[in-house]
Structure 1
């Protein structure tokens, strides 16, 4: 992946991952968990952007996870050049602005959520390589995920004319669509899923913010100017950062900027947004079951098919059941039919509403 200027990975690790409750919790969200491999999702994200073509990463995370983030990265040799700890969640556009302000202005930034799976890293690197010439010219590039289903939970991108090898102009960003529109876009073959991975120069992103979201840029600049610093740790000023509008990069910049490109790529991407999604990408036994346990846990399944079972402590035993999701963590146990794991968010809301005691 030749490039005269090394790429700076920017890892966004501020999410809470509540859809994977009870294992994912605010104090230890899904990117801090080893769900698909021995490494955690944060570690896997860092590991797919290492080597001679990449600088050390910049990580933007929740301040409560400071020690955990640092320990996890250090343990896989991905020590960050800067760890920026948000005092409050303000969505992706301000988070990326903090990273861009901390980076070398002319460096390409590879912005990656910390909780996604990419099975084909070589395909990902090839897409990055294809995008670099346009990035050097000042384009904002996103990576379009080759769709394999009429997903209503993702944003979509209409792929326009080809600009250079494998890189196309973005014709249109499409909000999360209703089912019939998703089916039509899938059938048309000229749309990609918006996976939330981006590549652009730091100075170009900041210039786009100055044009399209000047209040956000000003708040982030002040937050960084007044930040508390402890070695590589940066704690932006809370009051200044709270003034930044809560907005995604798509709304704040990508949908408004002129030179926006997309690289469609099939790279085994999955956002692991539910227990069902994890079952779909897990290694299954001969009965269609996916089960994994922590060091202290144990799973026993007899006459059981097509189930996902996870435990990090207690023993879980199943007999004569099909198509269930069973997750045990600490003192909490989740049981629901496969296919309904998106409804975990209803459980979270119900638990928040329930009076204590």
Structure 2
């Protein structure tokens, strides 16, 4: 890979606090989707870290997660050791989580904030978008990366792009809530909207200055939690009482929708948030019958299915357009296109306190 920019070293900030229940029965509280090898041999977290491995461009990452996953994260990233693993006492959404990383960084460090569980198939395109953003970031702008939509999608927020402020970079006109299908189709037809993929680039001091302006009590609580933090090697354990007093808010609501100098780099980079089993079917590389198969599976006269086994043999015959996922202790069967119903399944299991929500498969 060519260096993003020869004089600037970027600090990756990887947010790894999600529970990933939309991919039950594989994803569970003790082993959520970012810690699983869903699209290849490596886990989602490992692939996220690898995108920023080049030491001429990137410093070691800062991981923000929780105590439940700390040991496994350290194990998975043994070859890409982070500079710090910050353990949130409890989830407070993305704005306080990023504040932890910003306060742990050098003030002038550009921070590349990424969720730990997204797919980016065209990494060179991602790096090119980073390079386009850096000149503005060094001037104090807050930059997000807008995913070029390939279909009307009601599950994502959108970014309306405005005037050009640098080559390949536009000012953000507005962040738009998740639309209904008709409005999503209008956005795609308009051509001036991007999906909000939740990936950001800004200097640590620019982000903290924005928080000081718009959410001073939040950032004060996060500062206090780090002042009282315990430290064990790379592990940073913020003081719980102070951190829990921070308001729970996303970076979009707390900062990006309020700040003036906010820009977007539109990019086509083979992005997916892997938010459902249907998304995994689309990513999986199907056989001649449209099946995406993983594990010990026998598929006879079977078309258009996602079939995945993590243990027992899974056999199908004469079925179409199903999602079937088997672990050693659970089997889930859904029609393709009904991934949203996993939420209903998880809610039903929660109501009974079922162990398969928590026990690793």
* TM value normalised by structure 1: 0.97
In 2: Cα distance, 1:275 partner to 1:343 partner: 10
Aligned residue for 2:50?
A: 47
How far does residue 80 in structure 1 lie from its aligned partner after superposition? 0.3
* SS of corresponding position for 1:193: strand
Gaps of 5+ in 1: none
* SS of corresponding position for 2:253: helix
In 2: Cα distance, 1:288 partner to 1:49 partner: 33
In 2: Cα distance, 1:78 partner to 1:105 partner: 23
Aligned residue among 295, 312, 331 for 1:333: 331
How far does residue 354 in structure 1 lie from its aligned partner after superposition? 2.7
* SS of corresponding position for 1:341: coil
How far does residue 5 in structure 1 lie from its aligned partner after superposition? 2.6
How far does residue 2 in structure 1 lie from its aligned partner after superposition? 1.3
Aligned residue for 1:113?
A: 115
How far does residue 183 in structure 1 lie from its aligned partner after superposition? 1.0
In 1: Cα distance, 2:6 partner to 2:162 partner: 26
Aligned residue among 26, 31, 36 for 2:34: 31
Aligned residue for 1:65?
A: 69
How far does residue 190 in structure 1 lie from its aligned partner after superposition? 0.3
Aligned residue for 1:5?
A: 8
Aligned residue for 2:226?
A: 224
In 2: Cα distance, 1:62 partner to 1:28 partner: 12
In 2: Cα distance, 1:356 partner to 1:194 partner: 34
Aligned residue for 2:135?
A: 133
How far does residue 356 in structure 1 lie from its aligned partner after superposition? 6.8
How far does residue 174 in structure 1 lie from its aligned partner after superposition? 0.1
In 2: Cα distance, 1:215 partner to 1:352 partner: 34
Any conservation in 2 of the 1:152–1:182 contact (CA below 8 Å)? yes
Deviations 1:247-298 (A, max 9, x none): 10000000000100000000000000000000001111111100112xxxx1
* SS of corresponding position for 1:283: coil
Aligned residue for 2:152?
A: 150
In 1: Cα distance, 2:247 partner to 2:157 partner: 21
Aligned residue for 2:321?
A: 323
Q: Equivalent residues in 2 for 1:90-105 (5 A)?
A: 90-105=92-107
In 1: Cα distance, 2:264 partner to 2:47 partner: 24
In 2: Cα distance, 1:232 partner to 1:85 partner: 11
In 2: Cα distance, 1:208 partner to 1:60 partner: 20
Give the length in aligned residue pairs.
351
Question: 1:334/1:192 Cα in 2 relative to 1: closer, same or farther (>3 Å)?
Answer: same
Q: Equivalent residues in 2 for 1:214-253 (5 A)?
A: 214-253=216-255
Gaps of 5+ in 2: 356-361
Aligned CA RMSD, in angstroms, stands at: 1.0
Any conservation in 2 of the 1:3–1:132 contact (CA below 8 Å)? no
How far does residue 105 in structure 1 lie from its aligned partner after superposition? 1.0
1:56 equivalent in alignment to 2:27: no
